[in-house]
Structure 1
Amino acid sequence: MDLNSLDSFITIVREKSITKASHMLHITQPALTSKLKKLETEVGVQLVERSKKGVELTIPGTSFLVKALKMVREFDSGNILDQDGDFFHSTNLNNNLKIGITRPLATSLLPDILSSINEFDPNLKCNITSELTDLVLDLVLFGELHFGIVCYCKPQEELEFIPIYKDDIVLIGPKSDSNPLDKKKLVNKPFILFNKSLPLRHDANEILLNMLGEIPENIQEVNDTYALISMISSGLGYSFLPLSFILDFVQLRNFNKTESYDMLPFKITNLGKYSPPRYIHIVYAKNRSTNLPIERLAEFIKSSRDRQKNMYIS
């Protein structure tokens, strides 16, 4: 199995047509069909089938699409995924309402979202996929999810974004620091930031330039939220996180919400004018036909509660 075969498969699914995909990939239709059959032989299942609507994914094909998208994205970021995993263990993309949510928002936001959906229609059953933002957006665009709940990301022409939470970025650091926004001292402090392939690193760099006029030299990189929080909690440096990520950390540890910020093993400091405006969005494909009222449901979720309060430090 190679990345070229995965890319061909993804293009076929996106275009819902081998003919259109062959034009996109600049190869002949028989060659693309042969490549698809070879891939199906390698993975041992039928990935797509032809219907009146064009080429459609089979159930195992849907599971494989998620894996294929992950492998292509990991390759683009320089890390090849272990390909020995089970492609077809199970899929949660084949039931009534299919929702994708960005990690690590699931713990903090899903209960409220699911409560709103139940209020909208008690008969709706939900299947949840928790993945990286780019993968959630791909699955929404491909029609494999009805909608996604994602962190701030660049708008896309084929997707509709509805903001549902304001999600400020804050500074986190040692609890012993009585004046964390002292710029002269902060520029010389150690920072622990996401690696450069992740969108939050761009936000962090922008904040640092606006606050300090330069990027500090002492920076360690991580690619995992909980590793970052663990390092900050141990007093190893400073970082920037959206409040939604911190709320997720709070709920995973069963802190009482009204006391949670005082109980955290690090200090949270609002950045005020230095925090770029960020929102958590519901996102759905503009031109995907469905028998579910996705637009009305998204607006209902947005308006059903005052969500702003959950994302602010009192």
Structure 2
Amino acid sequence: MDFKQLRALVTVAEVGSVTRAAELLHLVQPAVTRQIKALEAELGVPLFDRTRQGMRPTEAGVTMADRARRALTELDRARAEVAPARGAVTGIVTLGLLESAAGLIAEPLTSAVLRAHPGIELRLQTGYSGHLRRWLDEGDLDLSLLYDITGSPSLTVTPVVRERLWVLAPPAAGLDPQRPVSFARIARDPLVLPSPGHGLRSLIDTAARQAGAELIPSVQTNSMPLQKRLVLAGHGWTILPGVGIAEDIAAGRLTGAPVREPEVWRSIAVARPRSGRVPPAVDVVARELLCQVHAAVADGRWPSAEPLIGDGGR
């Protein structure tokens, strides 16, 4: 087993085609096929099912591709760290961003990091908090934004900000950010809600029980962009964190207001694994992430948000 075989395995698993994998790896197709077959022979199990639709990883193939991807990432990270330019911070940093906050944070964070440290390679992954937490625990992320996590034996957690949930409606509803809307009022309209099991849905259901309001969703989805599109199309109101709707309200695409009776808050933290040394590049990105979050709150770009720690180094 060698790194060329592992790269071939990961690439074929990602693109589903030996031909396309060969193009990406700058190899001829027979060479990629030989590498996959050699790996299968060594392991004694098939790694792919060859179908008309392409190469589909078997259960063993999925497991091997997952492990190989992590090994290759660690190798790339080591190469970047052992030969930096004098005084430069270099390396690969894989950062998890909450889907709701990515639009606000990703671009200014990337610009700030790469301007000050061009030797850092950022790899940004977005997802819901539960997915990001699992990826952290499995070693696929170096650090991540998570919400409503107060502590963990496996993670170092730094609280950053807390924010209110908002109700979002079509422009015709005329919701006013200065006039919060009660759960009792929200329950009178059709609702587009996150799917059961989603952390945000748990917050919403708990608050509804406290208000004695029965929320009956007309649509449920695990996609925040889809929630907003369905609201815009007139399928109901929805409830989302303020950070995820700021641009829509500012542009007049949708109207929104904070939720009240009860108010619903979620806290957001930066988390990273406790084990192992923290590479300088990860430390740089973590500090800049704190700065960007606090700048967004201070500038009013993060609605109904309050900082939970200091100024993040500014």
Structure 1 and Structure 2 fold alike (TM over 0.5):
yes
Question: Alignment partner for residue 280 of structure 1, among 244, 268, 271?
Answer: 268
Deviations 1:18-44 (A, max 9, x none): xxxxxxxxxxxxxxxxxxx99883326
Counterparts of residues 68-147 of structure 1 (less than 5 Å): 94-95=76-77, 96-118=92-114, 121-147=117-143
Counterparts of residues 1-314 of structure 1 (less than 5 Å): 41-43=45-47, 61-63=67-69, 94-95=76-77, 96-118=92-114, 121-153=117-149, 155-178=151-174, 181=181, 185-210=185-210, 212-217=211-216, 219-247=218-246, 250=247, 261-271=249-259, 274-292=262-280, 294-295=282-283, 297-303=285-291, 305-308=294-297, 309-312=300-303
* Residue 8 of structure 1: aligned partner: none
Cα offset for 1:245?
Answer: 1.9
- For the 8 Å contact 2:166–2:257, the answer to whether it is kept is yes
Taking a change above 3 Å as real, the CA distance of residues 218 and 117 of structure 1, as seen in their structure-2 partners, is: closer
Amino acid at match of 2:280: L
Taking a change above 3 Å as real, the CA distance of residues 162 and 310 of structure 1, as seen in their structure-2 partners, is: farther
- For the 8 Å contact 2:94–2:140, the answer to whether it is kept is yes
Q: Using the alignment, how far apart are the partners of 1:213 and 1:39 within structure 2?
A: 58
- The count of aligned residue pairs is 234
Q: Using the alignment, how far apart are the partners of 2:223 and 2:44 within structure 1?
A: 33
Q: Using the alignment, how far apart are the partners of 2:238 and 2:106 within structure 1?
A: 26
3-state SS of the aligned residue for 1:138? helix
Larger radius of gyration: 2
Amino acid at match of 1:302: L
Q: Using the alignment, how far apart are the partners of 1:311 and 1:138 within structure 2?
A: 26
Cα offset for 1:190?
Answer: 1.3
Name the structure where strand makes up a greater proportion of residues.
2
3-state SS of the aligned residue for 1:271? strand
Cα offset for 1:136?
Answer: 2.4
3-state SS of the aligned residue for 1:41? coil
Comparing 172-181 with 229-238, greater Cα deviation is found at: 172-181
* Residue 312 of structure 2: aligned partner: none
Deviations 1:131-179 (A, max 9, x none): 4433322332233322123344464321122233433210112333357
Gaps of 5+ in 2: 1-40, 49-56, 78-91, 306-314
Q: Using the alignment, how far apart are the partners of 1:161 and 1:182 within structure 2?
A: 32
Deviations 1:171-218 (A, max 9, x none): 1123333578366654332111111121111111123233x4122345
Cα offset for 1:310?
Answer: 2.0
3-state SS of the aligned residue for 2:172? coil
Gaps of 5+ in 1: 1-36, 49-56, 66-89, 251-259
Amino acid at match of 1:277: W
* Residue 71 of structure 1: aligned partner: none
Taking a change above 3 Å as real, the CA distance of residues 58 and 217 of structure 1, as seen in their structure-2 partners, is: closer
Amino acid at match of 2:238: S
3-state SS of the aligned residue for 1:306? helix
Comparing 278-287 with 193-202, greater Cα deviation is found at: 278-287
Identity %: 12
Q: Using the alignment, how far apart are the partners of 2:261 and 2:118 within structure 1?
A: 42
Taking a change above 3 Å as real, the CA distance of residues 42 and 135 of structure 1, as seen in their structure-2 partners, is: farther
Q: Using the alignment, how far apart are the partners of 1:196 and 1:242 within structure 2?
A: 17
Amino acid at match of 2:214: I
Comparing 148-157 with 229-238, greater Cα deviation is found at: 148-157
